[in-house]
Amino acid sequence: MADQYLLGTIMASILMFFLLVGFWGCKRKAHLAPGNRSSCGIRAEKGGTGTDVIVVGAGVAGSALAYTLGKVRRAFASLFDFPEDGRRVHVIERDLSEPDRIVGELLQPGGYLKLLELGLEDCVGEIDAQRIVGYALFKDGKGTRLSYPLEKQHADVAGRSFHNGRFIQRMREKAASLANVQQEQGTVTSLIEENGTVKGVVYKTKSGEECKAFAPLTIVCDGCFSNLRRRLCSPKVDVPSCFVGLVLENCLLPFPNHGHVILGDPSPILFYPISSTEVRCLVDIPGNKVPSVANGEMANYLKTVVAPQVPIELHAAFIEAIDKGNIRSMPNRSMPAAPHPTPGALLLGDAFNMRHPLTGGGMTVALSDIVVLRDLLRPLHDLHDASSLCKYLESFYTLRKPVASTINTLAGALYKVFSASPDRARIEMRQACFDYLSLGGIYSSGPIALLSGLNPRPMSLVAHFFAVAVYGVGRLLLPFPSLKGLWIGARLISSASGIIFPIIKAEGVRQMFLPATVPAYYRVPPPS
């Protein structure tokens, strides 16, 4: 009898628990229903919708962040809408139609690992994305293959290349599938500030109506053309070159499933697949001005200067792409992260930090930053203590450095090394880099692990960079040293130092190599 009574008590308790949880879940879903979130008038009142985070921009960074902060647990918790992070996210994007860009098309293996960590790996599915397993490097008609060191990774881990717009639309769909993520088309014009604290944003809707949205945390991810970054950082944007983009159709790359880098004159030329039938070509042109497309100068430049340097397998398709006339260009921007810690706001993605796109590292940095930010925000239930939250999130700028600074520094250094120069020391450095990578083994796998985001270690980057320089000096001094060889070798070391040290200085020496010595590194979450 006692056993039956005990069993009945346990069953009744379990039933009561499920009823209470179900009631709480229904209330939460009603609170998040679209009808309660879509009125501009409601949003204009502080706290009107209980939004936790406003995300400005729905590109790769903004969409991935919105999904990450808004996603719910699967299995048992998802039945009752238990939040994993409990964030109600309002995404405001200038244009929700599919973007059409010529960059952001190559995701390195390190970035794919971050996709897996964020639960977004299916976003590279159903868009005809191509698996990338390494690079092919060409110089003066000679080629060498450089494979990603994927031996210790799961079989699915590799790079991916695709149409940027298709990938972004998949990310947006993934974020919008969550009940507590609201996407809205609108143009954010300014931040709302009170006593130095960002409280929300002012934006214009698609219909032109001016609205205000409020949240305890606003994260700006509106890309390289951000009009909000000046309030949140010290932007020192450099434009070292421009990319001219073409799409080659129905042609075979010399090395399938590889990115191709031609060390051309005056600067690199890139080829990589973006679908099963298309190959993207990006021609780098130094400076911030390119020949005119309208008057035919660009077509003439591509045919007379670039085409003779293109691998023979791609030559006919390259000329055909020029004749079709769909030639596009965009400036390549570089901007170190120099944030102004601001209560209530944070920068992310290309609005915050850019590097030369030669190495395709931008999405890897952004996704890695989102993982860091997710882990920092996870223990916080209340985001309203703006001052404490701001001090705590200063650790974000240090914790992101190993990945970000390695990829940023490598991108800037490789672009300078790979570009042609009349300087004999730079010529020797370029040849030494090609020969060093061609040696295979650790000499190629080490640098490629850095480039791919699989080994984000700044010290390893510096070691390999100067190993290339020393290798170049050795080539000059063997078999018999000469005064001329010694002089050029000394200039080579000096040139290598002049390339990498300014980039490291801009990234922050202490944060890059000794992050554990930065006080913010140890900050604990404010009490919630």
Q: Which of 362, 370, 469 is nearest to 417 (CA)?
A: 469
* Amino acid at the residue 367: L
| Closest among 220, 518, 525 to 398, alpha carbons compared | 518
Pairing of strands 89-93, 53-56: parallel
This model's pTM is above 0.75: yes
CA 233-239-244 angle, 5° bins? 130
Distance (Å, whole) CA 134 – CA 230 = 37
Burial 504-520 (b: 16+ CB within 10 A, else e): bebbbeebbbebeebeb
* Burial (CB count within 10 angstroms: exposed 0-12, middle 13-18, buried 19+), residue 151: exposed
Q: Are 503 and 404 in contact (CB under 8 A)?
A: no
Give the neighbor-by-neighbor strand order of the sheet with 130-132. Answer: 106-107, 159-161, 130-132
- The pLDDT profile of the chain, 528 residues, written as one tens digit per residue, is 445 444 455 555 554 544 444 444 444 443 333 333 334 644 444 434 589 999 999 999 999 999 999 985 433 444 444 444 469 999 999 999 999 999 999 999 999 999 999 999 999 999 999 999 999 999 998 999 999 999 989 999 999 999 999 999 999 999 999 999 999 999 999 999 999 999 999 999 999 999 999 999 999 999 999 999 999 999 999 999 999 999 999 999 999 999 999 999 999 999 999 999 999 999 999 998 999 999 999 999 999 999 999 999 999 999 999 999 999 999 999 999 999 999 999 999 999 999 999 999 999 999 999 999 999 999 998 899 999 999 999 999 999 999 999 999 999 999 999 999 999 999 999 999 999 999 999 999 999 999 999 999 999 999 999 999 999 999 999 988 999 999 999 999 999 999 999 999 999 999 999 998 998 888 888 886
The residue behind tokens 């309660």 is 36
The answer to whether the CB of 173 falls within 8 A of the CB of 125 is: no
DSSP assignment of 260-295 equals: EEE--SSS-EEEEESSSSEEEEEEEEESS----STT
Which H helix or E strand runs over 410?
helix 401-418
For residue 406, what is the enclosing H or E element? helix 401-418
The answer to whether the beta carbons of residues 299 and 327 sit under 8 Å apart is: yes
Packed helices 424-438 and 458-477: angle between N→C axes, nearest 10 degrees: 110
Cα–Cα distances in Å, from 385 out to 89, 135, 195, 521, 527?
18, 48, 14, 20, 9
User: Strands 181-194 and 89-93: what pairing?
Assistant: parallel
Q: Which of 366, 360, 372 is nearest to 411 (CA)?
A: 360
